Amino acid sequence: MEFDIFSNLATGFSAAFTLQNIGFALLGCLLGTLIGVLPGIGPIPAIAMLLPITFQLEPLSALIMLAGLYYGAQYGGSTTSILVNIPGEASSIVTCIDGHQMARQGRAGSALAVAALGSFFAGCVGTIFIAAFGPPLAAFAQQFNSPDYFSLMVLGLTTAVVLAHGSVIKAVAMVLIGLLFGLIGTDINSGLQRYTFGISAIWEGIDFLPLVIGMFGVVEIIRNIESRELPRALIGTKLRDVWPTKQDFHDSWRAVLRGTGLGSILGILPGGGAVLAAFAAYTVEKKIAKDPSRFGKGAIEGVAGPESANNAAAQTSFIPLLTLGLPSNAVMALMMGAMIIQGIQPGASVMTKSPELFWGMVASMWIGNLMLLVLNLPLIGVWVKLLSVPYRLLYPAILMFCIIGVYSINTNVEQLIIMAIFAAFGYVLYKFGCEPAPMVLGFILGPLMEENLRRTLVLSRGDPMVLLERPISAALLLMSLFVVALIVLPQFRKTREEAFQE
């Protein structure tokens, strides 16, 4: 495998720097910012709704657009958090705490600029992480055989349980339900139908799109209709005021570095991502501050740290997907679904068989981050005006896109029924406080785990000890056991609950 980063990046920029791909990067960034600005949508349902559109696109163009949508949403969420005190995206909830207080003190411009500049820096560093660590990790992944892949997926799911919000028992239940849903359909080896109950629509298994659009898109609409719209106390700012003071730079640059480093690491972990990174960065800044009482009253570190962390995590969460074929969070599970739809098998083979795809994605992230920096600050007025549109006028259009997206898969009404069933199921889970993201990870990884386990047992003639005889597999299983031990330990469980509560 070639490790010359500069020649690889040259390949990536030549692939990404076409008129078509720049156009899709711009489209993804604009849609992502819009989704980040508007409360009640979020990147998961948005990507789910856009997946059917990618059927007709080139693989690189499709992935560039979806990736731009994801990290663009991290930028957009900060605008409404600071100016209106309403987080447009989950990872921007923390930004409300100090960002809006800064705005109330007449420092909205400084808060917006620090958020944008910190996000740009973190996005660029996160992309450097992908370029630097992607090739060696992919080379290491080429040594993996079926036992190693099975053990890697076990580690991914156990880690996702630890990092999931709420109850550990509920997270484990969600993973197991996802694994069971993934096993529905015709068994590839025997040709027998499993758990189909004679329903022809699921003979080939449950389609990915009806599940995710029902669980995320439709449920998100119901949740927002059900909740009362918050009063929007808009605080205006002028473009000429959007620049931090020298003191703001001095107070925020260390927080940007810490948030970038923390987000880069948490983005790689299974179950991590932008939301966890933002909350963790805010907690760190508050813990190490000389005067923690400043936080919640307009501390600029409370904006710089989380905004840098969520963008760094959004970028580095692509590393395990593109090198190991392991989605680290629900958004990456959707990206994995998009790659499979395009006939691309995520993992180490992407870099060897389609280097222009991997490096084109990396190059497009630099282009996209630059676009977001240039576009976001001048368009603040436009994004804020969009907030005047009541959600009751938005949700019919969102629901229409959900229905068109699912129906366009194979023009089958049965898929709409499946979507409605998963929407009802997702709403029940929401009422019981169960997070659907671990279920989606289980649904995506379940068939892959089964395939690798069965292949392992066939090659070893039914001896499961082969999982412990291979060093890589044994190390991954030991790590999984360590993660499970952490869950069981009362002290760790208490610390985890306190961290999420804070």
Per the CB < 8 A criterion, the answer to whether 244 and 297 are in contact is no
In the chain, where are the structural domains located? 5-234+243-501
Task: Tell me the two tokens of residue 291.
Answer: 């005067």
CA gyration radius, the chain: 22
CA distance linking residue 258 with residue 127, whole number of Å: 16
Helix intervals (H) in 166-239: 168-183, 208-212, 219-226
Q: Which own/partner contact pairs does 291-299 have at CB distance under 8 Å and 24+ positions apart?
A: 295/97, 295/98, 296/97, 296/98, 296/101, 297/98, 297/101, 298/98, 298/101, 298/102, 298/104, 298/105, 298/107, 299/98
pLDDT at 2: 44
CA distance linking residue 360 with residue 48, whole number of Å: 22
Q: Average pLDDT in the 426-442 region?
A: 86
pLDDT in tens, 270-315: 666 777 788 888 888 888 888 888 888 888 888 888 889 888 888 8
pLDDT at 228: 60
Task: Tell me the two tokens of residue 205.
Answer: 């298994």
Residue 193 backbone dihedrals phi, psi, to 5 degrees: -85, 140
Element (H, E) at 202: none
pLDDT in tens, 54-87: 878 888 999 999 998 988 887 777 877 787 776 6
Averaged pLDDT score across all residues of the chain: 81
Please work out, in degrees rounded to the nearest 5, the angle formed at the alpha carbon of residue 421 by the alpha carbons of 416 and 427.
125
Q: Average pLDDT in the 135-153 region?
A: 85
**SS3 of 394-449:** HHHHHHHHHHHHHHCCCCCHHHHHHHHHHHHHHHHHHHCCCCCHHHHHHHHHHHHH
Query: What is the distance of C-alpha 311 from the center of its chain?
Result: 11
| Residue in the structure block whose two tokens are 């995710």 | 212
CA distance linking residue 17 with residue 272, whole number of Å: 31
- Counting every residue written for the chain, the total comes to 502
Per the CB < 8 A criterion, the answer to whether 263 and 130 are in contact is no
Class of residue 231 by CB neighbours under 10 A (exposed 0-12, middle 13-18, buried 19+): exposed
pLDDT at 501: 57
pLDDT > 70 in the chain, percent: 87
Residue 264 CB contacts under 8 Å (≥ 6 apart), including other chains: 122, 125, 126, 129, 312, 313, 315, 316
Q: Helices 93-104 and 59-83, interaxial angle, to 10°?
A: 40
pLDDT in tens, 354-410: 888 889 988 998 998 888 888 777 776 676 666 666 767 777 877 887 787 778 767
Q: What is the DSSP letter of 163?
A: H
Quickly list DSSP for 470-497. Answer: SHHHHHHHHHHHHHHHHHHSHHHHHHHH
Quickly list DSSP for 45-80. Answer: HHHHHHGGGGGGS-HHHHHHHHHHHHHHHHHHHHHH
| Residue in the structure block whose two tokens are 């679904």 | 337
pLDDT > 90 in the chain, percent: 9
pLDDT band (50, 70, 90) for residue 1:
very low
pLDDT band (50, 70, 90) for residue 319:
confident
> Could you tell me the CA-to-CA distances from 30 to 66, 136, 393 in Å, in that order?
11, 33, 21
pLDDT at 208: 78
Q: Helices 146-163 and 437-459, interaxial angle, to 10°?
A: 160
